[in-house]
Each structure stands twice: as structure tokens, then as C-alpha cells.
Amino acid sequence: GTPDLHVPRDPRLLRLTGVHPFNSEPPLTALFDEGFLTSPELFYVRNHGPVPQVRDQDIPEWQVRIEGLVENPITLTMRDILEKYDQITAPITLVCAGNRRKEQNTVRKSKGFSWGPAGLSTALFTGPMMADILRSARPLRRAKFVCMEGADKLPNGFYGTSVKLNWAMDRNKGIMLAYKMNGEPLTPDHGRPLRVVVPGQIGGRSVKWLTRLIVTDAPSDNWYHVYDNRVLPTMVSPEMSAQNKNWWTDERYAIYDLNVNSATVYPAHEERLDLTTSGEFYTAKGYAYAGGGRRITRVELSLDKGKSWRLADINYAEDRYREYEGELFGGKVDMWQRETCFCWSFWSLAIPVADLENSDALLLRAMDDAMSVQPRDMYWSVLGMMNNPWFRVTITRDG
Ligand code: MTE
């Protein structure tokens, strides 16, 4: 039988792997049409194994242990986490490092399953800052990393990974523990009762079903930290990476911040454009995001294979929460540095129908405030992660 009974899932979710574990993305148009926030049932799911089942009555006693290089090791219950720390609510987009991997697998098979461009979702997360929790355990001066561990039992042990301690201690990085999504308790797929949320970094660092924070002087040695979420040099084949473990243990190849990326939602992939009825203009639309709190600063479209580009309008939907004073769902809306972007943004551009009629494909690229721009060429790597070349949609006309 399936170990994931009683998990509320939108039937529109597209399953990307076999029956178990559950990995899925929403249809891109359904995700986009929901708007800025994604409902928990439609939110993309990346599970490495069975979903830990926690009974309602056991949630107040759920425990998180904070240990390792700390002066004051502590065990916190959910009750402590809710009552003893300031609560924050903030909108955050989570993105799987495998978003758009399907395009890599088409060029050359990687070691991962084929995510389309909908391996991302956005919610208002509520809970305490990780900095406040770590501070109460008093990290030692030589401590450099914080390892996080979840309750899901997997073939290679519990799921775990780490981030730098100074990021976790920096409120502007926004790293938090969350127990609510859009004002409702977390659903089982998304970490019920408690997860980490690391804004601006790949989803793999946001450990679900959190049970332990371990302060250390070295990055996590958890199997899922070492053998997942990396971009190895492009010449490393699956065979090479299996023969030589050193490719995996080189921390320089571990992914933290997301890279700049974007996708077109309308026109949809394989949508047939009926240009005869769309009037003088067709409005193309889609999303863009950047990593590390950086803002998307431009989105450009080309109809002539990248020879010339047109500038799209950008809607930074998260900015309306910056102006929000006070509490939301029991947490103070705290957007850290006023300029930090931790969510997807939306772009649109009205294109003269006549121009579309003369083109075969629409190309798309975004740039962030570090002037990083999506590359023309794909950087293939063995795990197929961080795929962000220019997004391409073929133009198919009716009539
Ligand atoms: N945490 C645990 N305990 N187990 C997991 O399998 N998957 C990670 C991360 N945290 C995972 C986890 C990965 S790879 C991603 S992309 C995100 O959770 C996905 O979060 P979501 O399923 O809530 O969208």
C-alpha cells in the first residue's frame, strides 16, 4: 500500500516519478493562473521518500533538538517554538534546483527526473527566524555551519543538508522555521508540522519535517547533502561521477543561491495561436526569478533568434507585502532589507500580431540586479540542475 495516505493533493498535479515517492509539478498555466500565491494543494512537491505521518494530538509535543557546537544544547517542542519566539510572516518562492531539467534530459540524459518549468511555487510562510532559535542555543565561536535534519527515513538515512551559520544568523537572509503556509498549518507533503524555509536558495536546503539543527565546523556529511543539489563540471558523466567520489565532496560544486531564470506561460508550449481572432496585439506573459534576494531588473523577448530584443513590463507582486503594516496569520510581516526579493515576478509584453506571424519562435531571457543574464547556451551537468538558458517557445499558427 502507499505510505502517503491522507495527503491532500490537487488532482491536476502532474506526477514526475513512479507511484512512490510523490514528486509532482502543477500544470504551468494552472500555477500561473492562480496568481502570486500558490495554494498548498497545487504547490509543487519534491519528496525523497515517504511522508512522515504526524497525528494532530502529537503536534504540540513535536521536538526539535539544537545541538553540536553550542554552549546550551536545547530541545524545543512545537509549543516552545510558537510561544517563546517572535513570529514572522513573509511571502517566499521555493524553487527546486531541478526546475526545467527536462530540457537537459532531452539533450543528454542526466541523473534526475524531468521537471518542466513549473518546479516552483509561492506561499506566505509563518514561524520564527532561525537566527532567534540558534541564538538561544549560543553557538560557539568556531562554529561555521548549521546542519538540518528531517524525520523522513530514506534508503541513505534521514534527509539532511546544511547552510552557513552566518547566513542563518543574518535576518536579512530571511531563513526561518515555518509551521503555516498561507495561514493554514503545513500540509503533510510540505513538512507538517515544521520545516525550514531558506529564501533565495534552492528548495533542497529547505528541510521538511524538521527534527534537528546541528551546529558544526564543516558542511553536512549527510548523503543527500553530498550526492544531491550540485552542479558538477560539464564533462563529468554519470559513470565518472560514480567511479570517483571526489567529484561529489568538492563543496565548490554545491548549489546555494538560485540563478536567474524565466519562462513563458502564454503562449503555452504547443499552444496553437489563433492569430486571426486575437486583434492587433497578442500579450505574451510569464514569470522570472533570481536568487540570493536579488531583484529581476529586465526581461527581454526576441522573435528573430536573439538578433534583437524587446523589453517586457515587470510586475513585482511581492512588493505589496512590503507596505503591509502589522501581523498576518499571527506573524509580523517583516520583509528584512526593503530591497530584498525572495519571490517570483511576472512579466508581460503586447506583441503586434504581424510580428508573430513572421516568426518561428519566441525567445526569452531575464537579468538580475547583479547584471547576471540567462545564457544562450545550456550548461549540461550530471544532475541536470540550475538549467537556465534562454527559454524558447515555438510559434504554431492556426489557419
Ligand atoms: N526535506 C526533507 N526532509 N525531505 C525531502 O525529501 N526535499 C527537498 C526539500 N526538503 C526534501 C526536504 C527538496 S529537493 C525540495 S525542492 C523541497 O524540499 C521541496 O519542498 P516542497 O515539497 O514543499 O515543494
- Residue range 81-94, pLDDT digits in tens: 999 999 999 999 99
Q: According to the model, what pLDDT value does residue 3 have?
A: 62
Distance CA(343)–CA(38), nearest Å, equals 12
Categorize the per-residue pLDDT at 1 as very low, low, confident or very high, splitting at 50, 70 and 90: very low
Distance CA(272)–CA(270), nearest Å, equals 6
118 in Cβ contact with 77 (< 8 Å): no
Peptide bond into 267 cis (omega under 30): yes
Question: In this prediction, what percent of the chain has a pLDDT beyond 70?
Answer: 97
Nearest atom of ligand 1 to the alpha carbon of 210: 3
Q: According to the model, what pLDDT value does residue 2 have?
A: 53
Mutate which of 37, 44, 48 to test ligand 1's pocket (most atoms within 8 Å of Cβ)? 48
Strand partners, 348: 285, 313
Distance CA(320)–CA(218), nearest Å, equals 39
Mean pLDDT of the chain: 95
pLDDT tens string 196-230:
999 999 999 999 999 999 999 999 999 999 999 99
272 in Cβ contact with 396 (< 8 Å): yes
Kindly indicate whether the ipTM for this predicted assembly is greater than 0.95, answering yes or no: yes
pTM here is 0.96
**Residue 314 reports pLDDT greater than 60:** yes
Q: Give residue 391 CA to ligand 1 midpoint distance, Å.
A: 25
179 in Cβ contact with 118 (< 8 Å): no
78 in Cβ contact with 194 (< 8 Å): yes
**Residue 394 reports pLDDT greater than 80:** yes
pLDDT tens string 133-157:
999 999 999 999 999 999 999 999 9
Q: Which residues, 6+ apart, have CB-to-CB distance to 281 below 8 Å?
A: 350, 351, 352, 353
Average pLDDT of span 62-72? 98
Q: According to the model, what pLDDT value does residue 297 have?
A: 98
pLDDT tens string 349-393:
999 999 999 999 999 999 999 999 999 999 999 999 999 999 999
Q: What's the grid cell of residue 164?
A: 552557513
Distance CA(24)–CA(43), nearest Å, equals 9
**Residue 290 reports pLDDT greater than 90:** yes
**Residue 55 reports pLDDT greater than 60:** yes
Distance CA(178)–CA(196), nearest Å, equals 6
Distance CA(292)–CA(256), nearest Å, equals 8
Of 398 and 294, the structure prediction assigns the larger pLDDT to: 294
2 in Cβ contact with 18 (< 8 Å): no
Average pLDDT of span 234-243? 93
Mutate which of 23, 42, 47, 289 to test ligand 1's pocket (most atoms within 8 Å of Cβ)? 47
Radius of gyration, CA atoms only, the chain: 21
Residue nearest atom 10 in ligand 1 by C-alpha distance: 207
Q: Which residues, 6+ apart, have CB-to-CB distance to 312 below 8 Å?
A: 284, 298, 299, 300, 301, 347, 348, 349
Distance CA(88)–CA(178), nearest Å, equals 9
Residues identified as active-site: 96, 228-229
Pairing of strands 396-397, 272-273: parallel
pLDDT tens string 315-330:
999 999 998 888 999 9
Distance CA(251)–CA(246), nearest Å, equals 10
Strand partners, 262: 288
H-type alpha helices, the chain: 28-33, 78-83, 101-107, 130-137, 165-168, 223-226, 238-243, 246-249, 319-322, 353-357
Q: Give residue 191 CA to ligand 1 midpoint distance, Å.
A: 8
Distances (CA, A) of 122 to 68, 127, 290, 317, 340: 32, 16, 14, 11, 16
**Residue 242 reports pLDDT greater than 50:** yes
Q: Give residue 100 CA to ligand 1 midpoint distance, Å.
A: 17
Q: What's the grid cell of residue 108?
A: 543528454
Q: Give residue 224 CA to ligand 1 midpoint distance, Å.
A: 11
Mutate which of 46, 120, 156 to test ligand 1's pocket (most atoms within 8 Å of Cβ)? 46
